[in-house]
Structure formats: structure tokens, C-alpha cells
């Protein structure tokens, strides 16, 4: 957390509290059946279990792609043949500098997880893209980065639904 | 900011730093030409000017719809005939409890702004949905809630593009 001094258009000074974050990656892992691999975990700030795409914070000096490959393996035991960076976005630019690098991972196969974090209790869940729109509309998916990833996948694969 | 004590699957205690947030609203304002009304403002945490949908924090005891109507008017001078709550999502549930209530506003017309915040220097920008996909892919739009809203609009209005 830091405080920045800023000035408005009339030169009036104000202070902004800013949460500093190392940045993160998130992975849209799609299998050949047009299903996305998600994970379920308890999120203390939300006070509930959330369904999210695999994701994790960048380690110091870690490349974003290496981090994405590491997190996918740690959280799902999967590796991917094709990787593509889709976008990079701020989660909450009003008060926090967190940037998420979103990757698309395809050509999935079982890898060998070596360094999974014992503090993380993560369950895998595979959902068809054809159900993603209604799961978002019904509030079953309420994590921002996961909504971005699933909507991207629906647009990319042209999976349209009236349940939005 | 608060610290919560949590336990992992093996009963090991750990502490989590949690950023507390009052919650916020964001508005996907669509006009009759399939254009979205966005705003441009300097974001201190990002260190740059971002293109975003109108949004703002909930005041104490404020209803989410009232807040959305107030923020749309303050930031764009617009009011809307039709309002629909689309979804509600966590921006960064790993460390922050911020929830954003996303509204769709249609039937736009000029209102009379009464309480705009002089600390905000906000410029309006109207973008066609047909260009939204490429603007996200090219990094011209890099705010998470704005990406969610524009992707939703493309899916809802069936505006598909290969530039994703």
C-alpha cells in the first residue's frame, strides 16, 4: 500500500491510497471438446468458494508465459502445446496497479506437477462453453477474469446463446 | 486493509491481507447505433489514461441501481430509459472483496448533471461495438470491467469479428 499525491484540474492536491501488486497471469485452458478447465477454491475475501480459471501471481523476474505454464500445471496438472497471449488488463485501476496477463492454452495433456502449493486446496471443474453464458448470467461464475476469458472463448468459437 | 487468519487443508495457520472495498457499479451504456459510451480518465495506479465504462463506488446505504443512475449522469450527462442488471463480479477475489454490479443502460438521452465531482477530469468517448474486439486485442482497452461489458454487448448483439 502506498499514498500518492495527485492534483485535480484546478491544481487542488489530494492523496490516493494505492494497492501495489506484482501482477498476475490467468489461463483460459480449452480442450478439444470446447470445454474450459476451471478450478474451485475458497476465497477468503469473497467468503465463499469461487469457480475461476487457473491463475497466479508473478514471482520476481518471472516471465509471464513461464508463470502461466507453471500455474496451469500446479493447479490442474495440465500442460499445453499451444500458448497465445490474449490480452492484458487492470482488475481495478481506480485503486490498484494489478495487471493480469491472460493466456489461451490449447492442445492440453496431462503433465507432471512438481511444485504444487500445499496451502492451496484446489478442485478442478470442466465446463462446456455452451453453458458458460448462462452460468455467468445465473451468478454461478462471478470472478471477473473468468468472465473475460469465457466471453472471449464464446466470441472466438462463435458460441452464441440467448441466455445472457 | 485487514488481516484474516485462515487454515489450510492440513490445519496450518496462515494470515491473509485483505483489501476492504465498499463495492461499485459500472454501466454499459448503449445507444441506438450499437455504440458504447465510454469515459477517459487518468488512473494514478495505472500511471496512464484509461478508456473505461462509467463506474463508481457505492455510497453508504446506496442502492446499486440508484448509484448506477447517478454515476452515468455525473460522468456522461446521460440518463437512460431502460436499466437491467447484467451480472455481479469480484474484480480480484484473491486479496480484495470488491464486487462490481454491472448494469446495461439503453434508451439514452441528455440529462442534467447536478453533482459532478470536480476532482474527476473525465472525457467522453463513443465507440462502435464493431470496433470493440480489435480495440481490446490491440490493448487500447485494458480495464477489466470494460472488457467484460464490451464482450457482453458483442455477444448479446451478435457482433462477431475475427479480430479478437
**Interface predicted TM-score (ipTM):** 0.92
Any CB–CB contact under 8 A between A84 and chain B? no
What is the spatial distance between Cα A137 and Cα A13, in angstroms, rounded to a whole number?
A: 42
Where is pLDDT greater, at B73 or B11? B73
Active site residue B119: yes
A85 CB neighbours in chain B (<8 A) are: none
For residue A38, the model assigns a pLDDT of 97
> Is residue A18 within 8 Å of residue A96, measured between CB atoms?
yes
Helices (H), A77-143: 129-137
Walk across the sheet containing B35-43 and list its strands: B48-52, B35-43, B123-128
pTM: 0.92
Q: Which of B89, B90, B155 sits opposite A155 (nearest CB)?
A: B155
The residue extents of the domains of chain A are 22-156
What is the spatial distance between Cα B91 and Cα A103, in angstroms, rounded to a whole number?
A: 18
pLDDT digits (tens, 9 = 90+) for B101-110: 999 999 999 9
Mean pLDDT, range B128-144, rounded to an integer: 96
For residue A157, the model assigns a pLDDT of 93
Those residues with Cβ within 8 angstroms of residue B141's Cβ, 6 or more apart along the chain or in another chain: B51, B132, B135, B147, B150
- Of the residues B48, B71, B119, B124, which is catalytic? B119
What is the spatial distance between Cα B83 and Cα B65, in angstroms, rounded to a whole number?
A: 8
> What is the share, in percent, of chain B residues with pLDDT greater than 70?
93
> Is residue A32 within 8 Å of residue B137, measured between CB atoms?
no
What is the spatial distance between Cα B77 and Cα B110, in angstroms, rounded to a whole number?
A: 6
> What is the share, in percent, of chain B residues with pLDDT greater than 90?
74
pLDDT digits (tens, 9 = 90+) for A74-106: 999 999 999 999 999 999 999 899 999 999 999
The region that residue A34 occupies, defined by phi over 0 for left and psi between -120 and 50 for alpha, beta otherwise, is left
Average per-residue pLDDT in chain B?
91
Any CB–CB contact under 8 A between B50 and chain A? yes
Any CB–CB contact under 8 A between B22 and chain A? no
Q: Do A148 and B152 count as a contact with CB atoms less than 8 A apart? A: no
What is the spatial distance between Cα A35 and Cα A157, in angstroms, rounded to a whole number?
A: 11
Any CB–CB contact under 8 A between B75 and chain A? no
Q: Do B44 and A91 count as a contact with CB atoms less than 8 A apart? A: no
What is the spatial distance between Cα B145 and Cα B143, in angstroms, rounded to a whole number?
A: 6
Q: How many CB pairs under 8 A join A and B?
A: 161
pLDDT digits (tens, 9 = 90+) for A65-80: 999 999 999 999 999 9
What is the spatial distance between Cα B142 and Cα B147, in angstroms, rounded to a whole number?
A: 7
> Is residue B156 within 8 Å of residue B87, measured between CB atoms?
no
pLDDT digits (tens, 9 = 90+) for A3-37: 888 777 677 888 888 888 899 999 999 999 999 99
Q: Do A95 and B9 count as a contact with CB atoms less than 8 A apart? A: no
At the topology level of CATH, where does B22-156 sit?
Answer: Nucleoside Triphosphate Pyrophosphohydrolase (3.90.79)
A54 CB neighbours in chain B (<8 A) are: none
DSSP β-ladder status, B24-29 and B99-110 = parallel
Amino acid at each position: 500500500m502506498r499514498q500518492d499525491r495527485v492534483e485535480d484540474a484546478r491544481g487542488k492536491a489530494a492523496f490516493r491510497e494505492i494497492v501495489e501488486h506484482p501482477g498476475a497471469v490467468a489461463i483460459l485452458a480449452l480442450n478439444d471438446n470446447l470445454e474450459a478447465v476451471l478450478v474451485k477454491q475458497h476465497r477468503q475475501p469473497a467468503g465463499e468458494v469461487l469457480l475461476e480459471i487457473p491463475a497466479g501471481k508473478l514471482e520476481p523476474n518471472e516471465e509471464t508465459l513461464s508463470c502461466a505454464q507453471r500455474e496451469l500445471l500446479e493447479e490442474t496438472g495440465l500442460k499445453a502445446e499451444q500458448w497465445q497471449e490474449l490480452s492484458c488488463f487492470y482488475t481495478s485501476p481506480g485503486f490498484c496497479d494489478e495487471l493480469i496477463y491472460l493466456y489461451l492454452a490449447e492442445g492440453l495433456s496431462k503433465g507432471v506437477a512438481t511444485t504444487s502449493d500445499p496451502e492451496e486446496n484446489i478442485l478442478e471443474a470442466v465446463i462446456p462453453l455452451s453453458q458458460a453464458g448462462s452460468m455467468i448470467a445465473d451468478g454461478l461464475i462471478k470472478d471477473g477474469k473468468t468472465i473475460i476469458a469465457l466471453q472471449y472463448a464464446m466470441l472466438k468459437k462463435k458460441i452464441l446463446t440467448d441466455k445472457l
